Amino acid sequence: MNVLFLCTGNSCRSILAEATFNHLAPAGWKAMSAGSKPTGQVHPRSLALLAREGISTQGYASKSWDNLPATPDIVVTVCASAAGETCPAYLGPVLRTHWGVEDPAHATGTDEEIDAAFVTAYRILRARIEAFLALPLDTLSQDKQKLKEELDRLGSLIPEQQH
């Protein structure tokens, strides 16, 4: 099963989700990411955070959805539509779900405050990915409607803040 994490710039959230998913996923599940208007580079803070978490950053790049390496089975949009950000609509017969996350690339303030925005986005995505991978995927991959319901439910999952 191929999962596509999709946002606008493909420099922060979708890259964090792709790398985290691939780090945690069982055999047979693969994530990729893309943007409708890719920035052309992965945000350095995304790469630094993944490295701190022990997740490989090898081979990740900001790319367009026009040249995906495989056809996705599931598309997860991660744009923050509540912030007025328009989610790209992937065209194709795929299961779609939305996991809105604020874009840390737009964070302002001190280095610590900007880093905190990246950590928050990562924690939200990781919690949702861990919950996704804890689902009975063998059963759900046979029942697309039930899988969509579960994925939609996970889109509202917010991890408790760690102190």
Under a CB-based contact definition with an 8 Å cutoff, are residues 40 and 62 in contact?
yes
Alpha helix stretches (DSSP H) within the chain = 13-24, 44-52, 111-134, 137-140, 144-154
Q: How far is CA 15 from CA 24, 41, 144, in A?
A: 14, 10, 25
Element (H, E) at 136: none
> How many residues comprise the chain?
163
Q: Which residues are catalytic?
A: 7, 79, 87
The C-alpha atoms of residue 61 and residue 90 are separated, in whole angstroms, by 19
